[in-house]
Amino acid sequence: MIIYSSDKVGFCSDILQGSIEDKIHKLMQQRGLHRVGASEVRSWENSLKYMHLVMEGSRIPGSAGISIEYHIPNSGKRIDFIISGKDKDEKESVVIIELKQWQEAKKTDKPSIVTTRFLHGEREVPHPSYQAWSYSRLLEDFNETVQEDEISIRPCAFLHNYPNDGVINDTFYREDIEKAPLFLKNDILKLREFVERWVRFGDDSNLLYRIDNGKIRPSKSLANHMVSLLKGNKEFTLIDEQKVVYESILSLVGKSREKSKDVIIVEGGPGTGKTVLAVNLLVEILNRGKLCQYVTKNAAPRAVYEAKLAGHMKKSQISNLFIGSGSFTEASENTFDALLVDEAHRLNEKSGLFSNLGENQIKELITAAKVSVFFIDEDQRVTLKDIGRKEEIVRWAMFHGANVHEMELTSQFRCNGADGYLAWLDNTLGVRETANQSMDGVDYDFQVFDSPKDLYNTIFERNKVSNRARMVAGYCWDWKSKKDSEGYDIEIPEHRFKMKWNLASYASLWIIDPNSVTEAGCIHTSQGLELDYIGVIVGPDLLVRNGLVVTVPEGRSKMDQSIKGYKSLSKKNPEQASKLVDGIIRNTYRALMTRGMKGCYIFCTDPETNAYFKECLGGAVSQKYTSNRGMSKVADAAKKYRPKKKVSR
């Protein structure tokens, strides 16, 4: 997405008129990017004046293209400044510039990481050269026009307030600076020469427009690149806080000692790269000769990874890499150098088929490793048994006398990198109140269908492209086909629609088997995995009544284990039971609706609920839908509108 676009002449004119920061701000708002603070506006005003000094009086042609705050496809990241044209050989070329107002930084002992001061204190961030290079890699990876037209991408970083202090350009960061040259306070002429070298002629082919409108490659599938990753190939470019978290964890693992445990909690929403980070860490820690395992409670991701690795590694080797969270009930103290616990919000208290083994999975994981890393998103807890809360992890860390480190991931790679979609979805589902009450300006394909048949047919067609589209549903229908292979599970008579749950035929490999598009998945076979497109049937456990989004536990199938124990808990503590189950149902649909990297299509069995989602798309929803978001009010409304009899299945 191009925010500001002009040529050199137009850019210089906007600078001289003193209006460019306001112009960019308005363009950001028009494109639905409303969260622009005063400090960011000031940074445009200051940094772009220095870019004007670089451009004015240079040999850079007046017709060279200029783009500011270019939104990188499939990510939530923006490139500060782009200059486009042709080099001396008249080959198409783009220079991307990471602009910083820093005046000082401190060296760390972590590759590509520095410490610098921000408004609220110091923090570790990627070296500006690494950041520029990583953004160039994203652009190359995601844009087919860049690849097919052989467009040259030249990254660099410009710290226009930073004196040459020997820190930011220390030899420790040589590799980063070689990939993306670093220009400091007195390097305006050097930066000008760098740009002139790669933009000798103007942009007469609408290069930036072609890039912006070029075909976008979907984000890489972790499962499809698992073999290459385990062979040591760098398949994924870690950006911003991903890189900081990665290097910080490697540093702690390298310094780990048996007498001093480290517990690391990494929080991140859907698509922030938790699993990609975990697998990259697994490979690197093993390469450094340390004993490490990837742990997850959910069997589906493990089954998919194992299937992809079959034929490339022995089954015993695969089993030693990817393991279930209930495998540590008898593990000895500090058996592992590191355990990487993905989807840690799904951990249970007890282990075993009958939940009768061990004491507490969190406790046992921390016991078994010198360094234990818990990747969590508390808004993806989807059963009453899920205990993976941050406070619970901290409690057991304190029990072990461990050092606790809290980290966060925010860069979003799912849902086309559309942070606005996630905020809109949270607001629409009533998970949390946000300012995103419409999908206007959000680059994500969300559609509401009036018929489950139309939804299914659309997903079926999408799946023909790359086998990366599937149907899922809330667990509101009994699993009849488990005993009757000819039977159907999800039946919606008024639409003459019926479909089977996936489990009978494809088990945990449903998400990758090319024939499984004919069957529906549920939260238990899709969480932790991703697709290009997801089709979601919203059942009678989530309804809109009298302007409120309410949850109806009775709308769930009696076979669903997610809320098992709800009735007995209701008798003891009705308020607590209602709140817990309310969160589980909302979180379930939030998780299902964020499986698609490019699009999410839904159909609600309840007409009023379907109409609500349609209204929310355009932000035309009446105030009654958004005025009562308090959990207690929603819980009360849920009680009022629950059917007296069980919903028929």
pLDDT digits (tens, 9 = 90+) for 332-379: 999 999 999 999 999 999 998 778 899 999 999 999 999 999 999 888
Cβ partners under 8 Å of residue 512, min gap 6: 223, 304, 307, 308, 467
Mean pLDDT of 488-496: 94
437 to 522, 534, 622: CA distances (angstroms): 27, 22, 11
The three-state secondary structure class of 43 is helix
Residue 454, Ramachandran bin (φ over 0: left; ψ between -120 and 50: alpha; else beta): alpha
Give pLDDT tens digits for 128-163: 999 999 999 988 887 788 888 889 999 999 999 999
As a whole number, mean pLDDT of residues 529-537 equals: 90
Distance in angstroms (rounded) separating the CA atoms of residues 153 and 87: 11
List beta partners, residue 521: 472
Residue 324 near residue 294 (C-beta atoms within 8 A): no
Please, which residues have CB within 8 angstroms of residue 107's CB and are 6 or more apart in sequence?
114, 115, 167, 170, 172
Contact 191, 183 (CB under 8 A): yes
String of DSSP letters for 601-619: EEEESSHHHHHHHHHHHHT
Q: Is 248 helix (H, G, I), strand (E, B) or coil?
A: helix
State residue 623's pLDDT score: 37
Q: Is the predicted pLDDT of residue 397 greater than 80, yes or no?
A: yes
**Residue 301 DSSP code:** H
Q: Which of 70-74, 173-177, 515-519 has the lowest mean pLDDT?
A: 70-74
Closest CA to 549 of 577, 520, 590, 521: 590
> pLDDT tier at 646 (50, 70, 90 boundaries)?
very low
> Looking at 163-177, 279-293, 302-316, which range is the least confident one?
302-316
Confidence class of residue 421 from pLDDT cuts 50, 70 and 90?
confident
Q: Which of 416-430, 599-613, 618-632 has the highest mean pLDDT?
A: 599-613
Position 72 scores a pLDDT of 81
**Given pLDDT bands bounded at 50, 70 and 90, which one contains residue 538?**
very high
The listed range with the strongest mean pLDDT (225-234, 401-410, 511-520) is 401-410
Can you give the C-alpha Rg of the chain in angstroms?
26
Q: pLDDT at position 416, please? A: 56
Q: Distance between CA atoms of 526 and 472, rounded to whole angstroms?
A: 8
Which pLDDT tens digit goes with each residue over 158-177? 999 999 999 999 999 999 99
Question: What pTM value is reported for the model?
Answer: 0.83
Look-up of token digits 């009735």: 567
Neighbours of 377 (CB within 10 A): 23
Question: Do residues 554 and 647 make contact, with C-beta atoms less than 8 angstroms apart?
Answer: yes
Q: What is the predicted pLDDT for the residue at 444? A: 85
Answer for the pair 394, 404: CB distance below 8 angstroms, yes or no. yes
Residue 503 predicted with pLDDT over 70: no
> What pLDDT is stored for residue 96 in this prediction?
96
Q: Collect contacts of 456-460 with beta carbons under 8 A, ≥24 apart.
A: 456/497, 456/499, 456/535, 458/535, 458/601, 459/517, 459/533, 459/534, 459/535, 459/601, 460/517
Strands (E) located in 357-479: 369-376, 403-409, 445-448, 469-473
Please tell me which residue, 131 or 35, carries the higher pLDDT value: 131
Using 50, 70 and 90 to split pLDDT, how confident is the model at 635?
very low
- Reply yes or no on whether the pLDDT at 309 is more than 50: yes
User: Kind of pairing, strands 65-71 and 78-86?
Assistant: antiparallel
pLDDT in tens, 435-456: 777 887 777 899 999 999 999 9
Predicted pLDDT at 37 = 66
pLDDT category of residue 627 using cuts at 50, 70 and 90: very low
Q: Is the pLDDT of residue 405 over 90?
A: yes
Look at residue 35 in the predicted model and tell me its pLDDT: 61
Retrieve residue 503's tokens: 């489990």
3 state SS for 249-267 = HHHHHHHCECCECEEEEEE
For 297-442, strand residue ranges (E) read 322-324, 336-341, 369-376, 403-409
Instruction: Enumerate the β-bridge partners of residue 155.
Output: 96
Cα angle value 40/42/46 (rounded, 5°): 120
**What is the spatial distance between Cα 626 and Cα 616, in angstroms, rounded to a whole number?**
10
Average pLDDT over residues 614-622: 71
Q: Residue type for 268, please?
A: G
Give the type of residue at 545: R
Instruction: Give the whole-angstrom CA distance, residue 337 versus residue 290.
Output: 6
| Bigger pLDDT: 631 vs 605 | 605
| End-to-end Cα, the chain, rounded Å | 45
CA separation for the pair 36, 138 (Å, rounded) = 23
Mean pLDDT for the chain overall: 86
Q: What angle do CA 205, 206, 210 make, to 5 degrees?
A: 110
- How many C-beta neighbours within 10 Å does residue 637 have? 19
CB 150 within 8 A of CB 91: yes
Determine the Cα–Cα distance for residues 642 and 638; give it in Å rounded to an integer: 6
The owner of tokens 């705050």 is 69
134: buried, middle or exposed (CB in 10 Å: 19+, 13-18, 0-12)? buried
Q: Give the C-alpha distances (Å, rounded to integers) separating 393 from 106, 341, 347, 402, 573.
A: 32, 12, 10, 11, 25
